[in-house]
Amino acid sequence: MDDQVAVNIWCSLTYVGDIDVINQQFACEFWMTATWKAEPKLQGKKNEEVDWDQEWDPKITFTNATAIDRMQKGQRLYTSEEGGKEMTYAQEMYKVRGTFKGQVDLADFPLDFQELPIILSSDWTDRHVKFQKDMLKGDVIRHLGFSAPQEWSLCSHVHTDVTSIVLECPGASDRHYPMYIITAHVQRKIGYYIWNVVLFMFVITGLSFASFAVSPDHLADQLTVTLTILLTGVAFKFAVSKNLPSVSYATLLDKYVLIHLLFVCFIALLNTMSSAITPTSRASYNFACMAGGLGVFVLIQVVMVIVAAFKRRVAKRELMKFANLYKKRDDEIERMRRERDWYAERSKQPKTPTITLTPALRQFTFSANGVTKSPREREGSAPDSPKSYV
């Protein structure tokens, strides 16, 4: 085929799981169809009469697949009526199970949501192949096949996007290859991190106020309590980091932990400064530091709660945007289906016969009592006598 072929893509995600944030990959199983208008030479042929190895196909590849565990592929021909004409379509059917790579954005971790993309490409350039959504039926994602419900919430929508990739060819012009991206979204459940990280860090930092219970005259004992808590927080920070990929930016949870570590350092600094206070004023200084530190600690918690609520709201808004696009597309598919059914039903109804009057028939008129009169009879007939109502 020399012209650009429109390939319609439909998919059904039957399994999503094994979401590995550290290696930034996930496992997925899905059904997919790729449909395009068949060549004229295939019109009227049956499936068993076609040698698919010799026929044109879109040469679909899965760009971000790190491993394909199983792939079944089949082809078929089918006809569909469009505008009163029967059109023949070729269709490839895929059943794929594999592991796919995805970019992970952890800036808002653990209040984040992640995209799980399946990227389709073609060995043909975009001058020969154009991917687009199959508007005959909507894409589907099955929640029963989700294997990580304790850590993630699987969204009910499937987002699709069409783009292209540029391949630089030395000594020749760059080539553009079509890409079709099928994306599922998952939102992280924060319960685990609330109970095992946030609460734990809150308790550790709160224990730093125990240093003010030690007599201000025993500076070494105060610093021992504070520095022990600081080292505990640092060790906990490294333990948490092992469960996250190495990224060049601080996540929201990193910021929470670092702020609390800096607060413990601030308490240690206040303990140290007590050595410069006269012995008679150390008790008042100790109480003032404890009250002021407690106020700062409460303020930190309030600010972090506000930030967390804002981040959560932004994430829900983004997911709602994708859900609305999915619903709008499904409504459009349903509207098109009803139109097709209406036209199909109308085409089955018998047509109303039309009567064509010849010039000879046009010379006759039909009276109210059903008697036909010729033009000569109409000229010789007397006008109707007036009716009397007396």
User: Can you tell me the mean pLDDT for 50-75?
Assistant: 91
What's the pLDDT tens digit per position in 275-287?
888 788 888 888 8
User: Can you tell me the mean pLDDT for 216-232?
Assistant: 87
Does 235 reside within a domain? yes
pLDDT of residue 71: 92
Q: Do both 108 and 137 map to the same domain?
A: yes
Does 55 reside within a domain? yes
More confident position, 294 or 168: 294
pLDDT of residue 275: 80
Question: Which two three-digit tokens encode residue 200?
Answer: 């734990």
Q: Count the Cβ atoms, other than its own, within 10 Å of residue 28.
A: 25
The CATH number assigned to the domain holding 47 equals 2.70.170.10
Residue 324 confidence (pLDDT) above 90: yes
pLDDT of residue 364: 47
CA 386 to chain CA centroid, Å, is 82
Among 78, 8, 13, which residue's Cα sits nearest to residue 36?
8
Q: Do both 172 and 276 map to the same domain?
A: no
Does 123 reside within a domain? yes
User: Can you tell me the mean pLDDT for 241-259?
Assistant: 85
Residue 390 confidence (pLDDT) above 60: no
Residue pair 226/171 in contact (Cβ under 8 Å)? The answer is: no
More confident position, 158 or 374: 158
Q: Do both 201 and 100 map to the same domain?
A: no
**% of the chain with per-residue pLDDT over 90:** 45
Q: Do both 198 and 308 map to the same domain?
A: yes
Domain C-terminal end among 259, 284, 314:
314
What's the pLDDT tens digit per position in 9-54?
999 999 999 898 888 899 999 999 999 998 888 887 888 888 888 8
DSSP state of 24: T
C-alpha distances out from residue 195 to 151, 189, 192, 200, 203, Å:
13, 12, 6, 7, 11
At residue 368 the predicted structure's pLDDT band, cuts being 50, 70 and 90, is very low
Q: Do both 143 and 9 map to the same domain?
A: yes
Q: Do both 205 and 183 map to the same domain?
A: no
Does 370 reside within a domain? no
Q: Do both 180 and 216 map to the same domain?
A: no
What's the pLDDT tens digit per position in 114-172?
999 999 999 998 889 999 999 888 999 998 889 888 899 999 999 999 887 765 555 44
Domain C-terminal end among 160, 187, 214:
187
pLDDT of residue 366: 46
Single-letter amino acid, residue 71 = M
C-alpha distances out from residue 136 to 11, 66, 126, 332, 340, Å:
12, 31, 23, 10, 10
The CATH number assigned to the domain holding 227 equals 1.20.58.390
Within 251-281, residue ranges assigned H as helices are 252-273
C-alpha distances out from residue 145 to 130, 151, 282, 370, Å:
31, 15, 64, 74
DSSP state of 137: S
Q: Do both 183 and 197 map to the same domain?
A: no
Does 381 reside within a domain? no
Q: For tokens 């001058």, what's the residue?
A: 127
pLDDT of residue 387: 45
Mean pLDDT, the chain, whole residue set: 84
Q: Do both 197 and 160 map to the same domain?
A: no
More confident position, 289 or 247: 289
Alpha carbons 119 and 345: distance in angstroms, whole number: 39
pLDDT of residue 122: 92
pLDDT of residue 377: 53
State the residue range of the domain holding 280: 192-314
Q: Do both 205 and 144 map to the same domain?
A: no
Residue 361 confidence (pLDDT) above 50: no
Residue 386 confidence (pLDDT) above 50: no
Highest mean pLDDT of the ranges 57-66, 230-239, 370-379: 57-66
Does 342 reside within a domain? no
Residue 84 confidence (pLDDT) above 80: no
Domain C-terminal end among 159, 187, 215:
187
Residue 367 confidence (pLDDT) above 70: no
More confident position, 63 or 373: 63
Q: Do both 37 and 160 map to the same domain?
A: yes
Q: Do both 32 and 62 map to the same domain?
A: yes
Q: Which helix (H) or strand (E) holds 35?
A: strand 25-37
Residue 263 confidence (pLDDT) above 90: yes
Does 54 reside within a domain? yes
pLDDT of residue 186: 94
Residue pair 10/22 in contact (Cβ under 8 Å)? The answer is: no
Query: Total structural domains in the chain?
Result: 2
Does 291 reside within a domain? yes
User: Can you tell me the mean pLDDT for 252-267?
Assistant: 92
Q: Which helix (H) or strand (E) holds 67?
A: strand 65-82
3-class SS string, 162-203:
EEEEEECCCCCCCEEEEEEEEEEEEEECCHHHHHHHHHHHHH
pLDDT of residue 72: 92
